[in-house]
Chains A and B, each alone.
Chain A
Amino acid sequence: MVVAGGELITVEGARGVPLAAGIGLRAPHLDEILTTRPAIPWLEIHPENYLGGGPARRALELVRHDYPLSFHAVGLSLGSVDGVDPRHLKRLQVLAERIEPALISEHLSWSTAGSVYLNHLLPLPYTEESLAVVCRNVDRVQAVLGRRILVENPSLYLRFRYSPILEPEFLNELSRRTGCGLLCDVNNIHVTAQNLKLDPVAYLKTLQPALVGEIHLAGHARNDADGQTILIDDHGSRVPSDVWQLFSQALAHLGRRPTLIEWDTDIPALEVLLDEARVAERHLTDEPSEHCRADAA
């Protein structure tokens, strides 16, 4: 197993994810990774892309022998009032039993309404009603998978008129009620805070450190919408300096956590992702407080 750097965070009997910076595994890099076996501490995949057979599935079986893997699901729709699709959950369970990922995570969002799947991580009003729905769905997922999952804060482009609970408080409470962990996506905090005029540091500091099992980093796009700048979480560029800065603050508040570089659109050469992971690794191994000063300088 290729493990570059540090101890393993063991999750309920599964192989651990190292306390180091990994990358999201994307189809254009599969062959290169299988051929050259670069020293990447861990990899993360979207399991929805591997629920069929064929070459994608075979490649995943090969990858899992050499790298700790994490499943980052996008299709469970934890915020759906109709509950989690049992057929989809069963397929995910079968894949998880076969691949034995070290972590499984999903988003605080919904995608399915009735029988329609909208291909997006859609926002929830943060109310007691939503909290009850998400708790019920997380309970169901954890019961079927037989393990704890991590739930990630989404990127938001709107705020509901009635949404009395702050998102980080909603996540803390979700964790308290279900026992799930949290995935802190630092880029998403930055994007949401910019789009909704919130204080990202105050958001970060509301998250309870002990609940956070993983950190995500990515780039975003800057769009003009009717004269207002909106940040779009497109995972299509290098991590920008303000997200690195927030990452340092996240490490200072949360402590060191397995960290992942995500890149989903305009996917560059593998080396670019590895380079980003090296930058994240330096943040992880250095004193976080020093980074705060260096980035601010």
Chain B
Amino acid sequence: MREDLRAGGRFPDLELPDHTGNPRRLSELAAGDPLFLNFYRGFWCPKEQAFFRRLVRLQEEAEVAYTRFASVSVDPPEIAAAFRAGLDARWTFLSDAQRRYLAELDLLETTDTVHRPYLPASFLLFPDLSIHQVWNGYWFWGRPTNEELRQGFRAITRAIRPDWEVPAR
């Protein structure tokens, strides 16, 4: 993983096609909110399927909490769309089928020479894409639990919302 992709660094504003083929930027998807960004190997990986089922359970909280998710893989858009639909995920999946950012981010999973996928890595980002926290999910237990994500979203939200402390009359 690239050296500067750690807490306090700034994540690059990637531009990739989404699961419907529309070009999207991370900053556009964040839209002023905290953003959970995860890179996943592909629809075929059982660890990813289990991890996404976990995220889908969290989306019912995220949908009312002014927070965003985005997920990136080398799956083509139509494959990402089918995976997303099967999971009942309601956030944006991005496709780097051309592997444009694999080398730039140094996120190639070198042990899989068949698929050449992204290393499963997760980032919790501020709206300006600065990095709050990073998880290396090569081993499944390295991935964030939903409770860790709640704690991270709370910390970011407290930092960015000026009315976190309810304004006094």
Q: Do A and B bind each other?
A: no
